[in-house]
Amino acid sequence: MARRRDGVYLDDVTSTKRTVHALTGLPVGVLSFALTAGLPIGLGYCAVWSLIYASPDAWALTATFVVLTVLAPVLVVPAVPRLTALQRRRFRAFLGVEILPAPPRGRWRQLAYHVLALFIGTIGATATAACWLAGVGLGAAIVLGKINPALGLLIPATLLAAPWVARAVAQVDTAAARSLLGPSRSEQLSVRIDVLSRTRADIVAATDAERRRIERDLHDGAQQRLVSLAMNLGMARANLTDTPEPARQAIEAAHEEATQALAELREFVRGLHPAVLNDRGLDAALSGIVARAPLPVRLNVAVPARCSPVIEAIAYFIVAEALTNIAKHARADRAEITVERVADRLHVVITDDGRGGATLGTHRPPGSDGTGLHGLAQRAASVDGTFALHSPAGGPTRITVELPCAS
Amino acid sequence: MRIVIAEDSVLLRAGLTRLLADGGFDVVEAVADAEQLLRAVDAHRPDLALIDVRMPPTHTDEGIRAALVIRHQFPSVAVLVLSQFVEERYATDLLFGRASGVGYLLKDRVAHVSDFLDALRRVAVGGTVLDPEVVAQLMVRHRHDPLDRLTPRELEVLRLMAEGRSNNGIVDALKVSYSAVEKYVSSILTKLDLPPTGTDHRRVLAVLKFLGP
């Protein structure tokens, strides 16, 4: 969020905080350089120097330097993640910048930043401090009459430049920290893919759960109530034989409509999610739709171990929709469905002897419900499944779908 | 005629109780789940149990499973299963072994009071009542009558399978060798278009084709 202060546009951070960031860069940089590069190099230098120049009497000192040099990595290795944490806190506190955690294998990159931190810190702190001090120093010198007051014109320039210098330091430092302390681009992408896969699976599962919930609600609510209503109307119709003709006709009409509504609701609810799929699995649920199909369908199911409910539901809806498509468009005499589990994959093959020429056609006529073959391909893709359509003009048409069982 | 009702919806339980009482039936108990149903059947030994398919706790196929238990443990008790949906597979399960004193109807049918009460009476006296929807499903599934393709001997074997006999039982009845029976059975399954599917339903399906709608 941008707000205006002292003639400088700021994001979320004040120039004071940026200045503090730049100034703290120096001590933190010195510390991190000392721990990561200074210490081992210094000890190594002492060790080499002692070995070459020290008198044999000072062997204990020489040995100590050599041992310390060899042991230096023992200090450096645990220091790296701690320094990284310190820098991460510094960026968060003063710049509001979140440096994403890098995977542990990024140690060398982190080490590089800690060495670099000395130079960024020194230059950044010096430049920022110089701007502020130059302004203050010029002012003091003019007040004390040491220099020409005309130079006072430089004071606003240096003071105005100071926040910009701090901002530039912050930008350079942030860029360095992001690229060396944070995850690399491919690491970021891999994390992103993990997140996306997970959220997509969640959405697919949530959609499935939602269908089941609606099915259950309708079953326990509207359907029972309608049955009860139809039953009561049926009883009224049976008992009220001596009712006046118009009343009797009204009851009869209401009874017919209630039973009609029940039939329609039943079709709708089964289309949402067939309860038998949960109870008995794909074979039983597919038997139901195959039996209802308006053409002879041969069904072969070989699924010795059931797949996850989401996958079963997707396979079921793919077959149901494919059969509807065949009945509507294929002019087929017969169809065949094979569902087979091979290791952790569910293979679904749907063939018909119709006229062929089916396309995935993303183009759909206006008002269509967005299902069709394209919808089937999308359903398969939503769980990293594959969908292949082979439909030469004149037929036959073959749809091959492969789904991962465990999704 | 004494009846036990199992239906988890309070509304329908009350409605069915009233419907049956009006129709001259004696509703000895109306319960809300399969466990209570089995206890009630054991306690009252009714003529018929009227059972909803989806009941607590899992709201899946409790009613079918309870019906199968009743058919097995209390053969004198007829069962009429009611459901919002009829599934061929449940029909196959219900009819397995013995197709008498059993019914499977859509819940909608209770709205046609006299037909429904008539169906109850038929099932109670040992008849079989299948919903037209179930019959339609079975008809579509078996539209080309493959029984025509069986030899008289194979039909005989299939009839014995329909009576619920195992291969050994068929060996005893026909006085033929076990391997001969095995050959007949596999030939029947092939002729009835029941290729190996990895499930055990082939035998049941063959029987069902024989019982035929």
Residues B103 and B130 in one domain: yes
A276 contacts on B by Cβ (under 8 Å): 61, 85, 87, 89-90
A368-381 CB burial, b ≥16 within 10 A, e <16: eeeebbbbbbebbe
Residue of B nearest to A258 (CA): B111
Chain B contact for A225 (CB, 8 A cutoff):
yes
**Confidence class of residue A153 from pLDDT cuts 50, 70 and 90?**
confident
- Which of A164-168, B42-46, B125-129 is predicted least confidently? B125-129
Interface of A with B in 241-280 (CB under 8 A): 255, 258-259, 262-263, 266, 269-270, 274-276, 278-280
Report the CATH number that the domain containing residue B176 is assigned in CATH.
Answer: 1.10.10.10
Residue A330 is predicted with a pLDDT of 87
Spatial CA neighbour of A284 closest among A318, A324, A312: A312
Contact between A292 and B140 using a beta-carbon 8 Å cutoff: yes
The nearest CA of chain B is from the CA of A185 a distance in Å of 48
Q: Is the dihedral of CA A76, A78, A79, A84 positive or negative?
A: positive
CB contacts, 8 Å: A230 with chain B:
108, 110-111
Share of chain A above pLDDT 70, in %: 93
- When pLDDT is cut at 50, 70 and 90, the band that residue A137 belongs to is confident
**Chain mean pLDDT for chain A:** 86
pLDDT of amino acid B127: 80
pLDDT band for position A3 (cuts 50, 70, 90)? very low
Q: Which pLDDT score is estimated for A389?
A: 92
Lowest mean pLDDT among A75-84, A226-235, B193-202: B193-202
The listed range with the strongest mean pLDDT (A57-61, A137-141, A302-306, A360-364) is A302-306
Longest CA span, chain A: 131
Name which of A51-65, A119-133, A266-280 the model is least confident about.
A51-65
Instruction: pLDDT band for B163, please (50, 70, 90 cuts).
Output: low
Candidates A257, A279, A283, partner chain B, best to mutate (most B CBs within 10 A): A279
> How many angstroms separate the CA of residue B193 from the nearest CA in chain A?
9
Torsion angles phi and psi, residue B212, rounded to 5: 50, 150
Chain A contact set for B110 (CB, 8 A): 227, 230-231, 234
Chain A residues lying within 8 Å of B107, measured CB to CB: 223, 227, 262
Q: Which residue of A has its CA nearest to B205?
A: A287
Beta strands in A304-344 (DSSP E): 335-342
Please say whether the beta carbons of B179 and B190 come within 8 A.
Answer: no
Same domain, B164 and B154: yes
Q: What is the pLDDT of residue A7?
A: 35
Question: Between helices B10-22 and B113-124, what is the axis angle to 10°?
Answer: 80
Mutate to test the interface with B, among A231, A237, A312, A347 (most CBs of B within 10 A): A231
pLDDT of residue A185: 82
Taking an 8 Å cut-off on Cβ atoms, the answer to whether B87 and A224 are in contact is: no
Contact flag B60-A220 (C-beta cutoff 8 Å): no
Say yes or no: B149 and B135 in one domain: no
Confidence of residue B139 (pLDDT cuts 50, 70, 90): low
Pick the residue from chain A with its C-alpha nearest to B108. A227
- Residues B27, B28, B30, B35, CA torsion sign: negative
Q: Is the pLDDT of residue A286 over 80?
A: yes
A237 at interface of B, judged by CB pairs closer than 8 A = yes
Q: Radius of gyration (Cα) for chain A, nearest Å? A: 38
Which of B140, B171, B187 terminates a domain? The answer is B140
Q: Which of A283, A402, A299 is nearest to A343 (CA)?
A: A402
> Same domain for B191 and B124?
no
Angstroms from A257 CA to nearest CA on chain B: 11
B19: containing domain: 2-140
**Cβ of B111 and A300 within 8 Å?**
no
Residue A206 — very low, low, confident or very high, per pLDDT cuts 50/70/90? very high
Which residue carries 């003709």 as its tokens? A245
Per-residue pLDDT tens for A324-333? Answer: 889 888 889 9
Q: Residue B46: is the preceding peptide bond cis (ω within 30°)?
A: no
Which of B140, B158, B176 represents a domain boundary (last residue)? B140
B69 and B129 part of one domain: yes
Q: Which of B23-32, B55-64, B91-100 has the highest mean pLDDT?
A: B23-32
> What pLDDT digit, counting tens, does each position of A173-185 carry?
999 998 888 888 8
Partners of residue A293 in chain B, C-beta under 8 Å? 140
CA distance A114 to A108: 10
With a cut of 80, say whether residue B160 has pLDDT above it.
no
Is the domain of B103 the same as that of B175? Answer: no
Total domains in chain B come to 2
With CA atoms as reference, the chain B residue closest to A305 would be B198
Least reliable range by pLDDT among A55-59, B48-52, B107-111 = A55-59
CA distance A296 to chain B (A): 7
Q: Are A222 and A230 in contact (CB under 8 A)?
A: no
Distance CA B97, CA B88 (A): 16
On whether the CB atoms of residues A280 and B61 are closer than 8 A, the answer is yes
Paired tokens of A38 = 């200074």
Residue A83 and residue B52: Cα distance in Å, rounded?
68
More confident residue, B78 or A188: B78
Q: What is the mean pLDDT of residues A269-282?
A: 87
B111 vs A230, A293, A303: nearest CB: A230
Q: Answer yes or no: do B136 and B146 share one domain.
A: no
Which pLDDT score is estimated for B186?
85
Helix, strand, or coil (residue A19):
helix
Domain end call among B121, B140, B159: B140
Give the confidence band of A10 by pLDDT, cuts at 50, 70, 90.
very low
pLDDT at position A407 is 66
pLDDT of residue A16: 85
Q: Cα–Cα–Cα angle for B206, B195, B168, nearest 5°?
A: 50
State the pLDDT confidence band at A366, using cuts at 50, 70 and 90: very low
Which residues neighbour A393 within 8 Å (Cβ) at sequence distance 6 or greater? A355, A356, A357
Tokens of B110: 């209770």
Asked whether the beta carbons of residue A231 and residue B16 sit closer than 8 angstroms, the reply is yes
Do B134 and B150 lie in a common domain? Answer: no
Q: What is the reported pLDDT for A157? A: 82
Look at B137 and A288 and tell me if their CB atoms are within 8 Å. yes
> Contact B38/B32 with Cβ under 8 angstroms?
no
Same domain, B51 and B108: yes
Gap from B173 CA to chain A (nearest CA, Å): 33
Dist CA A388 CA A385 (whole Å): 10
- Retrieve residue A158's tokens: 């240096």
A127, A169 Cβ separation under 8 angstroms: yes
Distance from CA of A231 to the nearest CA of B (A): 4
Using a CB-CB cut-off of 8 Å, the residues of chain A touching B136 are: 291
Q: Does A216 touch chain B (CB under 8 A)?
A: yes
Greatest mean pLDDT among A140-149, A206-215, A269-278 lies in A206-215
Q: Which of A265, A267, A388 is nearest to A322 (CA)?
A: A388
Q: A289 CA to chain B: closest CA distance, Å?
A: 9
B160/B124 same-domain check: no
Test A291 with B112 for CB contact under 8 angstroms: no
Q: Are B185 and B194 in contact (CB under 8 A)?
A: no
Q: What tokens does A288 get?
A: 């139901």
Higher pLDDT, B4 or A68: B4
Q: Where are the beta strands (DSSP E) in A71-149?
A: none
Q: What is the dihedral of CA B135, B136, B142, B147, to 10 degrees?
A: 40
Tokens of A194: 């993990």
- Cβ of A283 within 8 Å of Cβ of B110? The answer is no
**B39 plus B123 within the same structural domain:** yes
Cα–Cα distance between A389 and A197 in angstroms, integer? 25
Strand-strand pairing, B48-52 and B78-83: parallel
Q: Give the percent of chain A with pLDDT over 90.
A: 38
| Statement to judge: residues B153 and B126 lie in one domain | no
Nearest residue in chain A measured CA to CA from B194:
A300
CATH of residue B116: 3.40.50.2300
Q: Tell me the per-residue pLDDT of A233-245, one tens digit each, with 9 for 90 and over.
A: 999 998 888 888 8
By the 8 A CB rule, do B17 and B27 touch?
Answer: yes
**Closest chain A residue to B82, measured at CA:** A227
pTM of this prediction?
0.66
Which of the four pLDDT bands, split at 50, 70 and 90, describes residue B105?
A: very high
Query: Picking from A98-112, A265-279, B42-56, which range would have the lowest pLDDT averaged per residue?
Result: A98-112
CA distances (Å), origin A149, targets A141, A154, A158, A161, A162: 9, 10, 15, 20, 21
DSSP for residue B156: H
* Minimum-distance CB partner of B108 among A262, A274, A291: A262
Which residue of chain A has the CA closest to B56?
A220
